[in-house]
Amino acid sequence: MSGLLAGLEDRIAGVRELYEDLHRNPELSFQEQRTAGVLAQRLRTAGYEVTGGVGGTGVVGVLRNGDGPGVLLRADMDALPVREVDQVPYRSTAVGVDADGNESPVMHACGHDAHMAALIGAAEQLAARRDAWSGTVLAVCQPAEEVGGGARAMIDDGFLDRFPAFDVALGQHIASAPSTHLYVRPGVFMAAADSLQVTVHGRGGHGAQPQATVDPIVIASSIVLRLQTVVAREISPEDVAVVTVAAVHAGGKENVIPTTAELKLNVRTFDPEVRETVLAAIGRIVRHEAAAAGAPREPDIEPINSFPLLVNDVDAARRVSDAFAGEFGEDVVHTPQAKAGSEDFGAFGTAAGVPSVFWNFGGFDPALYADPARPNAAVAAGKAPGNHSPEFVPTGLEPTLLRASSALVTAAALWLG
């Protein structure tokens, strides 16, 4: 590994410049045109065969270096509709228009800019040290992870037929955790997620004559409260599920009872049977609460997006964890609990029928975290920013980017001949 990693530290200043540019210029899901162009150019300059427009805005760089296994390295590109606080000189002031036509500020509030920068750092290092390995590297810049559609869009666009076969898929995600620390979990690592939109239909009218209406706001309120019983009363204490209603929209004037009310909700599960139980319970509760209130028609329940369960191959994840411990020290490598967050990265390995491994790397001041093995405690206590926060901007950038780039190279080396 010393030969393969030699010189990587010298290129991190350039990787940081790329990171700051990407952070300053975020783009929403499936709109990553500028981002894709920047990454494609860096990969071409490094010697990769580059294809753009895969699955919409995806970029794939292929580096062939003799006989040997194929390794897929993936980073996601999209940002979030979040207004960044003013805390760094390269903060985002970008504005975008979301899929619903709403204008909003845009920020890399989940650290995808760090993922992209680290991928380029690793890709450039592998290209520069072709004497130290053999095989094929696929550098995949994926759109639209935040909406759960990017990996599937690339696969549906013929990814497996258009590009060389690969023997393992590797990916990583920055976490609110101490910089330079790594978190690898064999088996189930991240939850499946299902987002739904529920439209409740009532009968509108004057607020002074509620008896002449069927109030969809009251029905929606009953649904929200009743949904809180699904996990508490229909799921075993031995299992885990999360049901969140995060958006409620209805009406526009204080004395007009509206015709409809809209709910947006999210479900997280770690077991396919639990998922089916929760989704069935949601459908039953939504329909029956509306029927009990005399709604003129059944509510509409429509999917918004869906993320698969992310499962790391057990043997491959252990190999990666052991390699990290050997290269960076056992004290910075941890086995975390399964996370309720979700990812669509696993779709690549599943589609190809090969192992995949996904891990987290820390990106913040170690002084914020009393226990590096349990970094979520600092987030829950308000001592450190969590993903999707307007304050989620990594600190100690160069050590963080060096560790993330080195981790990708170290993991890839386990397969590259």
Q: Is 141 annotated as a binding residue?
A: no
Residue 270 and residue 239: Cα distance in Å, rounded?
A: 8
Annotated active-site residue in 32, 76, 113, 145: 145
Q: Is 17 an annotated catalytic residue?
A: no
Closest C-alpha to 308, from 159, 149, 109: 149
Element holding 252 (H helix, E strand): none
Annotated active-site residue in 76, 78, 194, 215: 78
Element holding 40 (H helix, E strand): helix 33-46
Please give the radius of gyration of the chain, using alpha carbons only, rounded to the nearest integer: 23
Q: Is 78 an annotated catalytic residue?
A: yes
Residue 169 and residue 182: Cα distance in Å, rounded?
A: 18
For residues 93 and 7, the answer to whether their CB atoms sit within 8 Å is no
Indicate if the alpha-carbon torsion angle 331, 173, 185, 340 is positive or negative.
Answer: positive
The tokens of 95 are what?
């504005």
Q: Is 234 annotated as a binding residue?
A: no
Q: How would you label 267-300 residue by residue, b for 16+ Cβ within 10 Å and e otherwise?
A: bbbbbeebbebbbebbeebbbebbeebebeeebe
Closest C-alpha to 77, from 106, 48, 101, 105: 106
Binding-site residue numbers are 110, 112, 146, 173
Binding-site residue numbers for Mn(2+) are 110, 112, 146, 173
Q: Which residues are catalytic?
A: 78, 145
